[in-house]
Amino acid sequence: MEAQREQYLAAIAAAEDVAALKLVESDLLGKTGAITLLVKEVSSLPKEERPIAGKERNRLKNELQKAIDTRLAELQEEALERELGASDFDPSEPGPRRPGGSLHPISIVQNELIDLFTSMGFSWQDGPEIETEFFNFEALNIPDDHPARDSQDTFWLDDGNLLRTHTSPVQIRSMQRFKPPLKVIVPGRCFRQETVDASHEHSFYQMEGLVVDRGVSTANLIHTMKTCLRALLRREVKVRLRPGFFPFVEPGFELDVNCPFCAGDGCSVCKQSGWIEILPCGMVHPRVLKAGGIDPEEYTGFAFGMGLTRVAMLRYEIDDIRLFMSGDLRFLEQFPEVSG
């Protein structure tokens, strides 16, 4: 049996490819292979020979199977190397880069503000882009003859509804839905019938903020706005309030921040003033609280309307508003890639 063993091992070693090895394997270990038969034969041997013969033959069978497996792995390895050697494929090269998309600059700014305000206890609300005249105007104390109602500005729909011209209608919706104390932000898309140019778009993004509680004052408004602008602009900020008129706030303000580009010295962005108009805000008008179902004798509140589009323009020094909706990849690809 030793001679046979040598011969079988030599046959295995001599197999030059996988197909040849498979043949040797089936000759030896297949259903009617030499070794299979040899093992089967044990049962027909005289009883006293069986244990030893069985052990030996099984050992041989296992040894050959192992030799075949080892040779198979060798041959496969060789085949792979041959294949790789034959082409100029270099497995050590990094794979092709799959470029990820990037977030739209407005999404970047919006996400940052949502994180910031939710960390300060605000809840994030949503509202419909198609609004009723009541929520967009009436409830916000915007009288019939107010210029904002002019068909120049508003996209009216055939059914008497309109595309919201600001996110302020969600102030009313939130007040009606929740009881004070109330702290909400409402990022969203707004529409105005504008002639589109470098600084006007018919679609733009705002983020409304509303806080209603007992004893809320202008000091709370200023503090909240400073905290927000400091985080957004990543620097210490100075703010100032100028009077501003919006029918739904009283008093109403335009809030300016010291210019991030020239640190207040005066430059083209701030038109040499050292200040940049950043957002309108004010104390919620008592009539608006009433329309929201809140007693103005008991509660006060502040509201602000941040132009997300404007903030993104300032942050990224984008000088043409039309780029936001252009879908131009050369523009979009400049923003940080989102890792997959």
**Footprint of ligand PHE on this chain (CB under 6 A)?**
166, 168, 246, 249, 252, 280-282, 303-305
Inter-residue contact 324 to 106 (CB < 8 Å)? yes
Token digits of residue 285: 């008008």
Least CB distance to ligand PHE at residue 313 (A): 16
Least CB distance to ligand PHE at residue 325 (A): 19
Nearer to ligand PHE, 147 or 340 (CB): 147
Nearer to ligand PHE, 180 or 305 (CB): 305
Least CB distance to ligand PHE at residue 336 (A): 29
Least CB distance to ligand PHE at residue 301 (A): 10
Nearer to ligand PHE, 96 or 147 (CB): 147
Least CB distance to ligand PHE at residue 272 (A): 25
Nearer to ligand PHE, 188 or 305 (CB): 305
Nearer to ligand PHE, 105 or 209 (CB): 209
Residue 267, CA atoms < 13 Å, CB-side half-sphere: 10
- Using Cβ positions, the residue closest to ligand PHE within the complex turns out to be 305
